[in-house]
Amino acid sequence: MVNGVAKHRSHHPAKETADRLAASVSQHGQTLLARIDHSAAAKKAGLELRPTEVLFFGNPNVGTLLMQQSQEIGLELPLRVLVWEDEQGVAWVAHLDLDWLVSQYGIASAVQPTLDKMSAMLKAVLEEATGEQCL
């Protein structure tokens, strides 16, 4: 992990991984708030970019508990996961490690039960999306 970013390889192509992630998010009580296709935006600008998408999702019943401890953590919420294809055609997902994230705002101990639930949800969502054991 570098700078709090955790990466996981996917057994599926990038587009399928992103689709599976979107479906899994909903199944785990989260709301998919945005799905930004960077490669489509690049194409519109006349540029090339391998498949690259960011999915934003969350649940205000959970995120609010974090922001009640530090409103500045709202810069990091809702949760987001980057899905991309590397030079070899392998798909990856990346996200900020939740333990690292809350430690940056000095609220780790105050929100541990919430953090544990978020971590379990994120692990399940990522594993369903990638077909790989994550976290």
Look up the pTM and report it: 0.94
Query: Is residue 135 one of the residues assigned to a domain?
Result: no
> How many folded domains does the chain comprise?
1
Query: Is residue 62 one of the residues assigned to a domain?
Result: yes
Q: What is the CATH number of the domain that holds 97?
A: 3.30.310.70
Q: What is the pLDDT of residue 7?
A: 97
Query: Is residue 37 one of the residues assigned to a domain?
Result: yes
Query: Is residue 27 one of the residues assigned to a domain?
Result: yes
Q: What is the pLDDT of residue 65?
A: 92
> Can you give the pLDDT of all 135 residues of the chain as single tens digits?
788 999 999 999 999 999 999 999 999 999 999 999 999 999 999 999 999 999 999 999 999 999 999 999 999 999 999 999 999 999 999 999 999 998 899 887 778 888 899 999 999 999 999 998 886
Question: How far apart are the C-alpha atoms of 72 and 92, rounded to whole Å?
Answer: 28
Query: Is residue 45 one of the residues assigned to a domain?
Result: yes
Question: 100: domain range?
Answer: 5-130
Residue 2 DSSP label: B
Query: Is residue 92 one of the residues assigned to a domain?
Result: yes
Q: What is the pLDDT of residue 5?
A: 95
Q: What is the pLDDT of residue 134?
A: 84
Query: Is residue 122 one of the residues assigned to a domain?
Result: yes
Q: What is the pLDDT of residue 91?
A: 98
Burial of 115 (0-12, 13-18, 19+ CB in 10 A): buried
